[in-house]
Amino acid sequence: MEFKLESNVLSEIVADTLLLGIFEDETPEKAIRKLDRSFPADFLESIKQVCLQEGFRGKANESVHLPTYGALACKKLIIWGLGKSAEHSAGSSRKFAANVARRIKSNGAGGTLCLCLRSGKDGKSDSQAAVEGWLLGSYSFSKYKSNDDDKPKSKVKKVTICGTNLSARDFNAAANAGKAIGEAANLARDLINEPPAYMTPSKLAQEAKRVAKECDLTCTVMNVTEVEKLGMGSFLGVARGAKEPAKFIVLRYNPPKAKKKIAIVGKGITFDSGGLSLKPAQSMEHMKYDMSGAAAVIATMRAIGTLKPPIAVLGIAAATENMPGGSALHPGDVLVAMNGKTIEVNNTDAEGRLILADALCYACGQKPDEIIDIATLTGACVTALGRVAAGIMGSDQKLIDHLIKTGEEAGEKLWQLPLYDEYKETLKSDIADLKNAGARGEAGTSSAALFLKEFVDGRSWAHLDIAGPGWLEKERDEFNKGGTAFGVRTLCRYILSQA
């Protein structure tokens, strides 16, 4: 997809379709006159009358469609509601573009399209968000549909953007960032939405190698024998019940004279049956998305490799299935993690923290300045925050605050949950250093994060529990149905903000 800056006034924009956003607290004619004083008066009156007839008030996602009949250089004009101007932000431009892209895709329109943004103070943020939004809203996963009518694809070949007051250079920088991040998020969505029989740990490792080759990254994939030599008993304990071999994936981006080194660590359970602590059938239905953290890490590394910031980034994905095979982990077993800590397993369905324990130990051994892990870790987080926000916890409040702020800018909500020392009591074991699961039904998300804290060696660390927003049952603005790739935009923006 090509994105270009449009410098002409509205009436002179050559496109098949021109999209103009209008706020609730303004009239279309007032908005158009601000943008183009030479706009044809007769056609402006037609717009006014049609909006009145159709009851257009500028509410979010309302729209009015008008053929121009040669009155403008474009063939069709769409007036689109943006909601209240006081609530406008870069995120609004992302939602605007995403909803337009989804509507355009569904009605089969194609050709060239121009988005007229109602940019705020930061035209670069608005432009980047709009490009992200367009790519996110255009996404669909229809690989396994046999009927072409069930495979909606955007027929738009070129998108131009106006209303930003940017130079061509600044616009191109913003558009390139938006494109890299949007494409990365869609890659993660593809990885998550693939059936688990296809997206195995081995296939996930292949995808990581492909990304590394395309983006000039270094990729190392360790097999069970290599992982065993490193002493990753916690990771291998989960893996032993599965026929599919586990893979430990490491992606590296190391620019010369890097200012900082950040490690991002993702949970890669490519299918979670619960192990011997077997999930009920309904709870197992979407468990292919339990590798969303690993998908987010691989996708983020793609964006970083494309944009090449002066920050070293280490991407780690521990990938395995959690299955109840003949060699499966038993409740009551004791595992030894890479740092020597012993873990009594009292719930084999609390497996994500077991594989992350060794992944975090490995990350610490690479001596990063910061560690951020991302995982669909606990159902308790879905109970607490629903599917709107992810939980965030950690050892470094400055890092947590920065990630929350970055998440707001990226359109991904993060809500901090506490790590009170009292929760540690639930992790005490009579026979080992700690148990893998705390008290049932009590502070499950926080106790899981406290478990992970035992493996970060006192380093600056933040944990993102994306179990809720990582999967949606229906589309919502720039978020799609199915695997959403939640966290990719936040991780990308955070890393880029360190440059």
Residues 105 and 243 in one domain: no
Residue 481 lies in a domain: yes
In this structure, how many other beta carbons lie within 10 angstroms of the beta carbon of residue 447?
A: 24
On whether the CB atoms of residues 222 and 247 are closer than 8 A, the answer is yes
pLDDT of residue 122: 82
Residues 28 and 73 in one domain: yes
On whether the CB atoms of residues 374 and 267 are closer than 8 A, the answer is yes
Residue 431 lies in a domain: yes
Q: Give, as one character, the DSSP assignment of residue 1.
A: -
pLDDT class for 153, splitting at 50, 70, 90?
Answer: confident
In 287-326, which ranges are E strands? 312-322
More confident residue, 10 or 439: 10
In this structure, how many other beta carbons lie within 10 angstroms of the beta carbon of residue 278?
A: 14
Residues 292 and 430 in one domain: yes
Which residues does the annotation mark as catalytic?
279, 353
pLDDT class for 478, splitting at 50, 70, 90?
Answer: very high
The rounded Cα 311 to chain-centroid distance in angstroms is: 20
The mean-pLDDT minimum among 77-91, 124-138, 456-470 falls in: 77-91
Residues 254 and 135 in one domain: no
Mean pLDDT across the chain, nearest whole number? 96
Residue 183 lies in a domain: no
335: burial class by Cβ within 10 Å (0-12, 13-18, 19+)?
A: buried
How many Cα atoms within 13 Å fall on the side-chain side of residue 5? Answer: 20
pLDDT of residue 380: 97
Residue 181 lies in a domain: no
**CATH code at position 70:** 3.40.220.10
On whether the CB atoms of residues 157 and 112 are closer than 8 A, the answer is yes
Residue 295 lies in a domain: yes
pLDDT class for 239, splitting at 50, 70, 90?
Answer: very high
Residues 130 and 31 in one domain: yes
pLDDT class for 89, splitting at 50, 70, 90?
Answer: confident
Residues 453 and 407 in one domain: yes
Q: Give, as one character, the DSSP assignment of residue 287.
A: G
CA distance linking residue 475 with residue 102, whole number of Å:
10
pLDDT of residue 131: 98
The rounded Cα 320 to chain-centroid distance in angstroms is: 21
Pairing of strands 342-344, 434-435: parallel
CA distance linking residue 451 with residue 346, whole number of Å:
13
SS3 29: helix
Residues 338 and 391 in one domain: yes
Residue 108 confidence (pLDDT) above 80 = no
Residue 443 confidence (pLDDT) above 90 = yes
Residue 372 lies in a domain: yes
Residues 215 and 155 in one domain: no
CA distance linking residue 22 with residue 60, whole number of Å:
9
pLDDT class for 479, splitting at 50, 70, 90?
Answer: very high
Pairing of strands 312-322, 247-253: antiparallel
Residue 172 lies in a domain: no
**CATH code at position 271:** 3.40.630.10
Question: In this predicted model, what pLDDT tens digit does every residue of 406-429 receive, in sequence order?
Answer: 999 999 999 999 999 999 999 999
pLDDT of residue 90: 83
pLDDT of residue 440: 81
Residues 114 and 260 in one domain: no
Residues 379 and 257 in one domain: yes
Residues 325 and 382 in one domain: yes
Question: In this predicted model, what pLDDT tens digit does every residue of 240-267 receive, in sequence order?
Answer: 999 999 999 999 999 999 989 999 999 9
pLDDT of residue 361: 98
pLDDT class for 60, splitting at 50, 70, 90?
Answer: very high
Domain containing 374 equals 194-497
Question: In this predicted model, what pLDDT tens digit does every residue of 327-337 receive, in sequence order?
Answer: 999 999 999 99
**How many separate domains does the chain show?**
2
Residue 99 contacts by C-beta under 8 Å, 6 or more apart in sequence? Answer: 61, 137, 477
Residue 406 lies in a domain: yes
Domain boundary among 166, 182, 214: 166
CA distance linking residue 314 with residue 306, whole number of Å:
15
In this structure, how many other beta carbons lie within 10 angstroms of the beta carbon of residue 137?
A: 27
Residue 92 confidence (pLDDT) above 80 = yes
Nearest CA to 298 among 202, 210, 410? 210
Query: What amino acid is encoded at 409 in this protein?
Result: E
pLDDT class for 319, splitting at 50, 70, 90?
Answer: very high
Residues 476 and 438 in one domain: yes
How many Cα atoms within 13 Å fall on the side-chain side of residue 442? Answer: 10
Question: In this predicted model, what pLDDT tens digit does every residue of 336-384 receive, in sequence order?
Answer: 999 999 999 999 999 999 999 999 999 999 999 999 999 999 999 999 9
